[in-house]
Every structure is written in C-alpha cells, then in structure tokens.
Amino acid sequence: MNLAIETDALHSTSTATDTLSYAITDCELGMVLVARSTKGVCAILVGDNAEELTADLADRFPQSTLIASEAAVKGDVMKVLRYIAEPSAGLHLTLDLRGTPFQRRVWEKLKTIAVGRTVSYAELGKSICPLTNPRAVASACAANPIALAIPCHRVVRMDGELAGYRWGIERKRELIRKEAMA
C-alpha cells in the first residue's frame, strides 16, 4: 500500500489577484485554516489563534480577496481533519501550488516521502540535484503554505533530530509520531 501523500490534481498558477475561500476549525494540532482558489487548495495553515491564521493567509496572498466560507471548503476541511486523525487514510486534494520553480520542485519531491518516513534536508536536496544546498531546501520547506499536503514536517536534520517547523516543533513531533504508527 502506497502511503505517500497524493493529490488528485496539481495546478501551478501565477495569478495573485483572485478570490480565496477559507475556513478555520479546531483540530488535534490546535487550529487549522484551509483555503482554496478556483483551481484548488492553496493553503493549509496550522496554529493556535484564528486571527493569527487569518493574518498569515492575508500576508501570503496580499493581492487576493479573502472570503470566510465554511461551505466553499467543507470537503477539503473534512479531508484534512481525517488525515490529521488517521494519517494512513491519505490526503487527496486538488492543489493550487504557488511558488518559485525551485520551491515547487522541492514541494513535489516532498510529496513522494511516504507516511511514516523522514529524510534529511541534504538527502532531499541531493534527490533534486546533487549540488543543491540543504539550506535552500530548508528555505523552500519554510515557504510551504500547504502544511500536511506538502509534508515538510517529514524533513529532519542529517543526524535525525528534528529541526525547525513553520508551525512549531511540537506539531512536527506529533505528526511524525502519528505517521510512524500508520
């Protein structure tokens, strides 16, 4: 059974002036914000405060009109919540992936890391290009706006220790722990 994160479709867009629908709900990791454009999910943000999550979304998509709409993202939210509760269920979403060409290459490679596995920043970089600097990979991971669906939490230091995670090291630890049991 392939337990890697899969997406039903992947769109890459440079459209910065569009409308994004989003919803915020409680989850086992605190709170989660899921946002989507007409092309797919463009953000999954995790945190402890709805106002901070909304501000983060606005900062990431400054040219977009943001509309709070539980109905517009209900299906996506349910899939994310199910994945958080049961990583073995997988996470099948259509994504609207926005980033530089290098970031998108890193994010695509992240999606190939199976649930329950981790890789180092250096290993991930070498799998993209032998000369890729691990710090560049770490920067691309830090810029990832789609937590869980682009599993940057599966990247660790070369010695196997946990390194920074945009949404908190404790969340990273919990995600890795739950996925290891999947």
Which tokens in the block code for residue 119? 């890789």
Tell me if residue 27 is catalytic: no
Mean pLDDT of 17-24: 94
Q: How many angstroms separate the CA atoms of 148 and 129, rounded? A: 24
| Measured CA distances, 25 to 40, 83, 131 (Å) | 19, 14, 41
Residue 75: CB atoms within 10 A of its CB come to 12
Mean pLDDT, the chain, as a whole number? 90
pLDDT digit string, tens, across residues 82-127: 999 999 889 999 999 999 999 999 999 999 999 999 999 999 999 9
Greatest CA separation for the chain: 45
All domains of the chain, ordered by start, with CATH?
Answer: 6-96 (3.30.160.70), 100-180 (1.10.10.10)
Annotated catalytic residue, options 42, 129, 141, 152? 152
Is 110 exposed, middle or buried (CB count within 10 Å of its CB: 0-12, 13-18, 19+)?
Answer: buried
pLDDT digit string, tens, across residues 52-93: 999 999 999 999 999 999 999 999 999 999 999 999 889 999
Instruction: Let me know: does 42 contact 35? Beta carbons within 8 Å.
Output: yes
